[in-house]
Chain A
Amino acid sequence: GDSVTQMEGPVTLSEEAFLTINCTYTATGYPSLFWYVQYPGEGLQLLLKATKADDKGSNKGFEATYRKETTSFHLEKGSVQVSDSAVYFCALTRGETSGSRLTFGEGTQLTVNP
């Protein structure tokens, strides 16, 4: 079945540091890939997405490129801020007629210190 694997957390960085959170997936066909973010006490919200190979999703300084050859969708940001502290989830959906279910990774807790 489909699966998503994220790098183990938690991740602690200083403000303005470079961020990478690794995500790899296993799925048949051509899934759509997502990064969701969950701030403390809130629900998940979409950060960015990519729907086909070599697409780059970007939002709020975060980027991720859909790499089919390595089945990866790593999240990057050049300079993190304290306000980026949250849990980040990589996810995929194949969106076939059989379903629109999102398969989530385990989440990576990011803490950014001033």
Chain B
Amino acid sequence: DAGVIQSPRHEVTEMGQEVTLRCKPISGHDYLFWYRQTMMRGLELLIYFNNNVPIDDSGMPEDRFSAKMPNASFSTLKIQPSEPRDSAVYFCASSFSTPDTQYFGPGTRLTVL
């Protein structure tokens, strides 16, 4: 299995631009999670889906952030407009059931100038 796939691995953009992060979970997993990691705040859960349906988005910082999962094999996290404080590493993870091991992707390092 290829594991969780994230793209791009690195993204550098200017303040005000739209940013879209992509994730392909492990086939057969029905939970998908988006996390953000910063030095100041550590690992934060932003949102998670079960069977493509958003279950808990209480960690989404503000309306500038949105996430979708149009099918079982693809999810996006969008930031519009981006701000320098959004600079972080964004991880996608998936799991088969609950409670169960979550498998993390390699992350997308976002830098907003």
Contacts and interface: CB of A to CB of B under 8 A. Distances in A.
Query: How big is chain B's contact interface, by range?
Result: 20 to 34
A104 B35 CA distance: 11
A100 B96 CA distance: 11
Given A44-B91, A89-B43, A107-B42, A100 B105 contact: no
Interface residues of A, number: 24
A94 B100 CA distance: 10
B98 A95 contact: yes
B94 to A, nearest CB: 11
A93 to B, nearest CB: 4
B106 A43 contact: yes
B25 interface: no
B104 to A, nearest CB: 4
A16 B73 CA distance: 43
A81 interface: no
Contacts of A49: 101
B104 A43 contact: yes
Chain A binding site: helix, strand, loop or mixed by DSSP?
loop
Contacts of A42: 106-107
A47 to B, nearest CB: 10
A49 to B, nearest CB: 7
A103 B4 CA distance: 20
Given A99-B48, A99-B55, A104-B43, A44 B101 contact: no
B99 interface: yes
Interface string A12-46: 00000000000000000001101010000111111
B14 interface: no
Contact of B98 (A44, A100, A104, A106): A100
26 contacts: A36-B104, A42-B106, A43-B91, A43-B104, A43-B106, A44-B91, A44-B102, A46-B103, A49-B101, A51-B99, A94-B99, A95-B98, A96-B98, A99-B98, A100-B31, A100-B50, A100-B98, A100-B99, A100-B100, A101-B33, A101-B45, A101-B48, A101-B56, A102-B102, A106-B42, A107-B42
